Amino acid sequence: MRLPLPLPTMTTAPEVQELMDRLEAEAAQQRDPATTPDVGIIMGSDSDLDVMAGAYEALEELGFAEQTDFENPPESRFTFESYVVSAHRTPELMTVYGETAADRGLDVIIAGAGGKSADLPNMTASIAYPIPVIGVPVQEKSVDSVIGMPTGAPLTAVDAGKSFNAGLSAGQIIAREHDEIEQALIEYHDSLQGGVGDVSKALHDLGIDGFREHDA
């Protein structure tokens, strides 16, 4: 009688294992939070980058700098990092990212994913809890998947493609403990008000035809 063959087991690609080892090593360092990234930006695929770039822009507007080297942070006090983390293709990496987030100094995570099974934001929210996670549906068809969390499993989410708002929301969370970011948020909001005022005055003073010519 032939014995049944053992079921094949999934292996982790060396490149993914290297990233997992890096995250765990960073978590073990227990560095001063002032030198570690405050915000983590993750996305399911590099094809999501064009949409997720809005989060980068918002954070930079508030004075954050991108940190690409954990041990050699930029001069800016407030920083963010970014990774591609697929909930379906690299679930182990997603788990390690969420589990090490607090020990690596992150205060909030922005997670974007597309498709109808956009599970990265909600899965990360469950793993990284209680660190807040802001979900970004990369496409309209991703909205239901991102916001479909059960009671007791919180996830904040923005509208499809609105990663800039996710960056601002992350800044609001950080601002509760840091006056510099709160002031940056206020100044950004004031600039929007000023822009509306300028446009309103120009429309009135130039008239519709003149405004269109001026704006062309």
Structural domain for 164, as ranges: 14-177
Domain shared by 110 and 23, yes or no:
yes
Whether residue 23 is contained in a domain is answered as yes
| pLDDT surpasses 70 at 1 | no
Do 60 and 166 fall into the same domain? yes
Question: Rounded to the nearest 10 degrees, what angle do helices 49-61 and 163-175 cross at?
Answer: 40
Report the CATH number at residue 143: 3.40.50.1970
Nearest to 129 by CA among 160, 106, 146: 106
Per-residue pLDDT at 214: 84
25 vs 131: CA distance, rounded Å? 20
Q: Is the pLDDT of residue 5 over 80?
A: no
Q: Indicate yes or no: pTM above 0.95.
A: no
Residue 215 falls within a domain, yes or no?
A: yes
Query: How far apart are the two ends of the chain, measured CA to CA in Å?
Result: 83
Whether residue 135 is contained in a domain is answered as: yes
Residue 66: inside a domain: yes
Dihedral sign computed on CA atoms, order 28, 37, 35, 168:
negative
Looking at per-residue pLDDT, the higher value among 116 and 185 belongs to: 185
Per-residue pLDDT of 165-206, as tens digits, reads 999 999 999 999 999 999 999 999 999 888 898 899 999 999
pLDDT of residue 151: 86
Same domain, 161 and 216: no
Residues 92 and 75 in one domain: yes
pLDDT digits (tens, 9 = 90+) for 11-67: 789 999 999 999 999 999 999 999 999 999 999 999 999 999 999 999 999 999 999
* Residue 45 burial (CB count, 10 A): 16
**Position 6 in a domain:** no
* Domain count across the chain: 2
Q: Verify that 195 and 116 share a domain, yes or no.
A: no
Concatenated DSSP letters of 13-58: PHHHHHHHHHHHHHHHH---GGGS-SEEEEES-GGGHHHHHHHHHH
**118 lies in the same domain as 199:** no
Structure tokens that stand for 56 in this block: 């980068």
Q: Could you tell me how far CA 167 lies from the centroid of its own chain?
A: 7
Model confidence pLDDT, tens digit, residues 138-161 = 999 999 888 888 888 899 999 999
* E runs forming strands in the chain: 39-43, 65-66, 79-84, 108-113, 133-137, 156-157
Beta bridge partners, 157, equal 135
